[in-house]
A and B are shown apart, each in its own frame.
Chain A
Amino acid sequence: MEKGFLLPDLEDVDSRGFWDGCAQGELRVQRCTSCGQLRIPPRPMCPGCRSIESDWKAVCGRGRIWSFVVAHPPLLPAYAEFAPYPVVTVELEEDAALRLVGNLVHSAEGAINEVDPDSIEIGEAVRVVFTQVEDVHLPRWVRDS
């Protein structure tokens, strides 16, 4: 049903650890092993201390909706069949400046258009679920109530 979705390159050297975590059911952010600063999207150097050493820290997977849109055509064909669908930007509980873009669903198996956009509010509490699309496990969000 999600054939043709745009997906990350799982061999990307900077972000591979994030996507590996998703495949294991774990939401991770990059952590500087020198100063401890968390960062996402991942990148080679810590902007706080310029260390190139980092590891991956599992986060709790909870956050709040920072903003959202409802996408209508024109869209790529794979997405157009779900339109209109909401796309949420979530701020993570560990640090509100750590944000991820994803879909709000009722369950990991749900379609990206299954939540009524009119019911969505900024500030809503959400938690992560993982949905496999081809060989990628995409983090998605369900209401955390």
Chain B
Amino acid sequence: MSDSIRDRTAIVGIGQTRFGDKGLPDTELSLACQAISLAIDDAGVLPSEVDGLCMFSMEGGREVEVARNVGLGEVTFFCEVGYGGGAGCGTVGHAAMAVATGQCEVAVAWRARKRADKKSRVWSQASARLSDYTQWSRPAGMLRPVDEIATLMRRYMHEYGATRDHLANVALAFRAHANRNPEATMYERTMSREQYMQARWISEPLCLFDNCLETDGALAVVITSAERAADLPHDPVFVHAYAQGLPTQHQTMSNFFCEDPLRGPSFACAQRLWANSDLRPDDISCAQIYDAFSPLIPLSLEGYGFCARGEGAAFTEGGALEWPDGKLPMNTSGGGLSEAYVHGFNLVLEGVRQMRGTSTSQVEGASSCLVTSGEAVPTSALILRN
């Protein structure tokens, strides 16, 4: 297809602030500007050359403020992608489309987030009277995202015979990767299967270690055309394919009000993603899969076609997700569970590092990486290649 964006743009710069699980003094806007500034420098471009901005709808710092702080020139494309953790790959994909279609030449996508403070949790700020979709779950005490995902996981366990051991496979693999990544929040904290099994419950069947970290921090990437990328310092990491996914009769997070709740947004996203790619799941060298909660890994493995329906939990057996020998090394910087939870945007940067060959858990000869955004919300995904 001649008008496909396949491999026509590349990620040429990355930047991230430090991560703070105990909180950082900087505002979200300041963190965003710091990450963007680092990414621009890494790309070897000037702020005045940035003419495209793509951000999460939930961003605290607005485009105008970012442009005024970072010293951007005249911006000709700016957009926002919604649905929280579902947005990350979408911001990169929108930037890639804008560059490929000539709406801008150098675009930045980013996420800055401050959630280390317990008072910042959205679920804890619910108003007394609910008029949106939350009225169908919150009154009964289903208050938090973890309760919604635990509902799906209990059903998944019932239907497919999955166990907590499968979720431990996920949590332990990502923790081991974080233990190799000095930037990761859990760098110095190892975890055993016994520690996982003895952790306190949050929402049965999910325990503390099935939940992501809450982090202050920001990350950004710079996207430009493949032609321009050839003249920049880093080897380009091509945006090979990109898609979003909002499945039939989906309800954000509390996706219980449809025929098949265990068939999540990744299924819809995957259809377009693979259709736009030369690659198949078996060709993928490594994956960075959105992991706000450990059950999202088996659900996503099924959605993106690495295994059949019901086989996602079993896929994690035998060290399949572990660097270096697993069949699909996953979340090689530690992911949301053990590196940092910046709405999954740290997964995008780890995908870039794998393609550059600079991960702290580098997959030897890695040539492609699947990066996904939030499962259980309208989502997005990227296939990166080098």
Binding site for B on A (CB under 8 A): 5-9, 11-12, 15, 40-41, 47, 66-72, 74-76, 79, 82, 84-85, 87, 89, 97-103, 112, 117, 122, 133, 136, 138, 140
A9 touches B130 (CB 8 A): yes
Chain A minimum-CB-distance residue to B125: A76
Q: Does B126 sit within 8 A of A, measured CB to CB?
A: yes
Interface stretch (choices B134-142, B183-191, B319-327): B134-142
Using Cβ atoms and an 8 Å threshold, which residues of chain B touch A79?
141, 143
Residue among A12, A66, A70 making CB contact with B155, cutoff 8 Å: A66
Among B136, B139, B142, contact of A7 (Cβ-Cβ < 8 Å): B139
Chain B residues lying within 8 Å of A89, measured Cβ to Cβ, are: 151, 256
Known contacts A79-B141, A89-B256; A6 and B126 CB within 8 A of each other:
yes
Give B205's nearest chain A residue, CB to CB. A69
Q: Is B158 on the interface with A (CB-CB < 8 A)?
A: yes
Q: State the Cβ distance, A9 to closest chain B Cβ, in Å.
A: 4
A90 closest partner in B (C-beta): B256
Which among A15, A70, A97, A103 is the interface contact of B201 at CB below 8 angstroms? A70
Are B142 and A67 in contact, with the CB atoms below 8 A?
no
Which among B130, B150, B251, B258 is the interface contact of A69 at CB below 8 angstroms?
A: B150
- Contact digits for B241-258, partner A, Cβ 8 Å, 1 yes 0 no: 000000001010010111
A–B Cβ pairs within 8 angstroms, 17 of them: A6-B138, A7-B129, A9-B129, A9-B131, A15-B135, A41-B257, A67-B256, A69-B150, A69-B203, A69-B206, A70-B204, A71-B141, A71-B203, A87-B142, A99-B256, A103-B141, A112-B141
- Summed over the interface, the residue pairs from A and B with CB atoms below 8 Å come to a total of 117
Inside 8 A of B152's CB, which chain A residues have their CB?
A: 67
Q: Answer yes or no: B147 CB below 8 A from chain A CBs.
A: yes
Secondary structure at the B interface, as helix, strand, loop or mixed, is mixed
Q: How far is the CB of A18 from chain B (nearest CB, A)?
A: 9
Q: Are A122 and B155 in contact (CB under 8 A)?
A: yes
- Decide yes or no: A67 and B155 within 8 Å by CB, A6-B130, A41-B257, A72-B204 being known contacts: yes
Q: How far is the CB of A128 from chain B (nearest CB, A)?
A: 13
Residues of B within 8 A of A11 (CB): 131
Pairwise interchain contact B130-A8, C-beta atoms closer than 8 A = yes
Q: Indicate which residue in B128, B144, B154, B201 contacts A68 across the interface (CB closer than 8 Å).
A: B154
CB distance from B247 to the nearest CB of A (A): 13
CB of B193 closer than 8 Å to a CB of A: no
Contact A5 B139 (CB under 8 A): yes
Write the residues of chain B forming the contact surface with A, with a CB cutoff of 8 angstroms: 118, 124, 126, 128-131, 133-144, 147, 150-152, 154-155, 158, 200-206, 249, 251, 254, 256-259
Do residues A87 and B141 form an inter-chain contact, with CB atoms below 8 A?
A: yes
B154 → chain A, closest Cβ, in Å?
5
Residues of B within 8 A of A140 (CB): 140
**Inter-chain contact B138/A122, CB cutoff 8 Å:** no
In the complex the two chains form, what is the Cα distance from A89 to B139 in whole Å?
A: 13
Contact of B141 among A40, A41, A82, A97 (CB under 8 A): A82
* Pair A74/B118 contact, Cβ less than 8 Å: yes
* B143 A76 Cβ-Cβ under 8 A: yes
- With CB as the reference atom, state the residue of chain A lying closest to B142: A87
- Minimum CB–CB distance for B192 against chain A, Å: 22
Determine the distance from Cα of A87 to Cα of B141 in the docked complex, in whole angstroms.
7
Residue contact A72 to B131, C-beta cutoff 8 Å = no
If A8-B135, A40-B257, A66-B155 touch, whether A102 touches B140 (CB-CB below 8 Å) is yes
Given contacts A8-B130, A41-B133, A117-B204, contact A75 B141 (CB under 8 A): yes
Query: Which A residues lie within 8 Å of B147 (CB)?
Result: 69, 71, 87
A99 to B258, CA, bound (A): 8
A71 touches B143 (CB 8 A): yes
Shortest distance from the beta carbon of A64 to any chain B beta carbon, whole Å = 12
How far is B301's CA from A121's CA once the two chains are assembled, in angstroms? 27
Q: Are B154 and A67 in contact (CB under 8 A)?
A: yes
Supposing A66-B256, A68-B154 touch, asked if A136 and B136 sit within 8 A by C-beta, the answer is no
Tell me, rounded to whole Å, the shortest Cβ–Cβ distance linking B202 to chain A.
Answer: 6
* B136–A101 touching, CB < 8 Å: yes
User: Given A6-B130, A138-B139, does the pair A72, B154 have CB atoms closer than 8 Å?
Assistant: no
Residues of chain B with a CB closer than 8 A to A97's CB: 257-259
Chain B residues with CB under 8 Å of A76's CB are 124, 126, 143
Min C-beta distance of A106 to chain B, whole Å: 16
Q: Which residues of A contact B201 (CB under 8 A)?
A: 70, 72, 84
Q: Give Cα A101–Cα B140 distance, bound, in whole angstroms.
A: 7
B42: min CB distance to chain A, Å: 38
A101-B142 CB under 8 A given contacts A67-B151, A69-B147, A71-B203 = yes
CB within 8 A of A47: which of B136, B249, B254? B249
Give the distance in Å from the alpha carbon of A138 to the alpha carbon of B151 in the complex: 20
